Amino acid sequence: MRAAVLHGIGNLEIEDVDTPTCGAREVLLRVGAATICRTDLKMYTQGQRDLVLPRILGHEVAGTVVEVGREVTEVLEGERIQVAPGFACGRCWYCVQGRSNLCENISILGFSYDGGFSEYVLLPEAAISSGSLNPIPDPLSFEEAALAEPVACCINGLEMAKIGFDETILIVGGGPIGNIFYHLSQIAGASKVHIVEILPERREFMRRYQIDALDSIESVQDEVDILIPACSDPDALIKGIKKVKRRGKVIAFSGLSVDDPQLLDPNIIHYNELTMVGAYGCTTWQNREALTLMASRKLDLRYLLTDQIPIEKILDGLRMVDAKEGMKVVVKNIRKGG
């Protein structure tokens, strides 16, 4: 089968590798669609703390079960599933507390197991026992189902902040994550949602879908209850926090470079009694909640699926993500002749 294999920083090759076969407690998935995340770009350009090389990348994945091991009863051949990529142990303190995204023994599809930028992906026993194989409800396509993981991450962020009805939200960053947060905030009952995006082409894109984005944080006239930095620009946090009203909240969602010299003024947090909450990853049930929301069409993200490429063009896809061209790039198994 064809696969995009990362051997090291800047060394990603399209290779013919053996199609996996199932062990007793494993599942073979034919990939229907996998979407590119900025974390995939980071792994290619910088590496990542949880990444084990060599590795087939791709953690936003949906497809069809084509083979199950003899001891597997949880899924059936022919079933359409989305994979929640974090496989938690279910035994550590964090898992017992319901925070499986922080599992001490977590393994991750596309990081510690081969992922979905391939024709097939072998899902280990850990994926089955952690409940990470989620049936795709009608009418969702594979492309939409692959978005469940980033949606679930945003759901986690809003749950951590305990967003309340009639609160005002400021989202900084109008990429896929910012757009997802925008819609989820409205669904949660926010009275007003501001979204800031500095790139004019992205503002124009959102305008076509009735989202009026501002061009700078300074353009936001109101104080807000919650700040969501949905990009890795330090200004999203450093400038954005100045727009948060007293006793407001900040969701630390996007990681920043450890080498960035800019510092957040702790006096703003102290004197304004702000609450900062971190949000990392997502749980299996947040993935299922994401699928349910999208299937109901309360959350319709089809407009974000702007580009589609075959596996052989994965480097072009990563370049598009780096250049912020389009929104979500879908990797599909497109063969010549159809």
In this prediction, residue 232 carries a pLDDT of 86
Q: Residue 246: which CATH number?
A: 3.40.50.720
pLDDT in tens, 256-278: 666 665 678 899 999 999 999 99
DSSP 219: G
* Residues 129 and 29 occupy one common structural domain: yes
d(CA 234, CA 260): 8
* Residues 213 and 79 occupy one common structural domain: no
* Residues 79 and 211 occupy one common structural domain: no
Task: Tell me the residue type at 107.
Answer: S
In this prediction, residue 338 carries a pLDDT of 37
HSE on the CB side for 250, CA within 13 Å?
25
* Residues 260 and 167 occupy one common structural domain: yes
With residue 320 as reference, give the H or E element that holds it: helix 314-322
Could you tell me if residue 21 is inside a domain?
yes
Could you tell me if residue 274 is inside a domain?
yes
In this prediction, residue 336 carries a pLDDT of 47
Contact 318, 40 (CB under 8 A): yes
If one counts the domains in the chain, the total is: 2
* Residues 115 and 167 occupy one common structural domain: no
Ramachandran quadrant class, 163 (left: phi over 0; alpha: psi -120 to 50; beta: rest): beta
Could you tell me if residue 228 is inside a domain?
yes
CA distances from 297 to 33, 180, 183, 195 (A): 20, 13, 11, 22
For 191, the 3-state DSSP assignment is coil
* Residues 241 and 165 occupy one common structural domain: yes
Rg of the chain in Å (alpha carbons): 20
Question: What is the span of the domain harbouring residue 80?
Answer: 2-147+301-332
Contact 293, 299 (CB under 8 A): yes
DSSP 155-202: HHHHHHHT--TT-EEEEE--SHHHHHHHHHHHHTT-SEEEEE---HHH
Could you tell me if residue 293 is inside a domain?
no
Query: Environment class of residue 46 by beta-carbon count within 10 Å: exposed (0-12), middle (13-18) or buried (19+)?
Result: exposed
* Residues 139 and 157 occupy one common structural domain: no
Residues lower than pLDDT 50 in the chain: 336-338
* Residues 160 and 123 occupy one common structural domain: no
Enter the tokens of residue 173: 């960053």
d(CA 118, CA 137): 23
* Residues 9 and 75 occupy one common structural domain: yes
Q: Residue 15: which CATH number?
A: 3.90.180.10
* Residues 122 and 186 occupy one common structural domain: no
* Residues 207 and 139 occupy one common structural domain: no
Beta strands in the chain (DSSP E): 2-8, 11-16, 27-35, 55-56, 60-68, 80-83, 86-87, 107-108, 120-123, 133-135, 168-172, 192-196, 224-229, 244-252, 275-278, 305-310, 328-332
Enter the tokens of residue 171: 């989202």
Could you tell me if residue 292 is inside a domain?
no
pTM of the model: 0.95
Could you tell me if residue 296 is inside a domain?
no
Could you tell me if residue 265 is inside a domain?
yes
* Residues 136 and 172 occupy one common structural domain: no
Could you tell me if residue 338 is inside a domain?
no
